[in-house]
Amino acid sequence: MSEAQEKGSDTSPGASERRRRRTVANLAFGAIKAQHAKHRSRLERFVDGLNHYASSTPFLVAHAIWFGVWIAWNTGLLGFRAFDPFPFGLLTMVVSLEAIFLSIFVLMAQQRESAIAELREELGLQVSLRVEQEVTKTLQLVAGLYTRMGHRVSDDPELHHMLQPLDVRGIEKDLLEQIETATEARHHNPMLDDTRT
């Protein structure tokens, strides 16, 4: 087939649909975190920068110096007049406010990270299900060759089981039942029953 014919065949509706799917798949499989980072708001960028700085050594050193100077100043060790005498009510209020805001910023960053992680898990699940469908289809093709060679699929129960489509709802139901059983077993303590009798 010539290059012109290949280009001509690529302009068909089926080829353009395949190309579109490939593009969507490439976007989905790209670095999800990088994609999210590219579309952050100003506040989210500020929160990320602040969290990065707050978890650094300079932030720790600055606070150690700040607290040391503040306490030394207000206990008279530096010879200056105290503006926040013991028990340092102003320092307590400032540090409490800082802790509240830092906690909020950390929670905002964690919420975004959690959303990214959930998206990754969902994407991984969808890919796994797609791969399972493709593997089952491949096994069905192999089974067709298997029968053409004179063998019977029913003679191999493991292969017969593999040829069945994956029962996602059944697996989900089994997992939920196992979780419920484990939860009930954890709440049921036989030692407590012995002490009651």
Note down the domain range covering 146: 42-151
Q: What angle do CA 10, 135, 22 make, to 5 degrees?
A: 25
Task: Assess if residue 175 is contained within a domain.
Answer: no
Name the 3-class secondary structure at 78. Answer: coil
Q: How many CB atoms lie within 10 A of CB 32?
A: 15
Residue holding tokens 């010879």?
Answer: 79
**For residue 80, is pLDDT > 80?**
yes
Q: What is the pLDDT of residue 2?
A: 44
Q: Is residue 74 part of a domain?
A: yes
Mean pLDDT of the region 150-159: 68
Confidence of residue 129 (pLDDT cuts 50, 70, 90): confident
Is residue 48 in a domain?
Answer: yes
60 within a domain of the structure (yes/no)? yes
Residue 168 lies in a domain: no
Measured between alpha carbons, how far is 22 from 60 in angstroms, rounded to an integer? 48
Pick the most confident of 80-84, 95-99, 184-188.
95-99
The count of residues in the chain is 197
In a domain? residue 71: yes
Quick check: 162 pLDDT over 60? yes
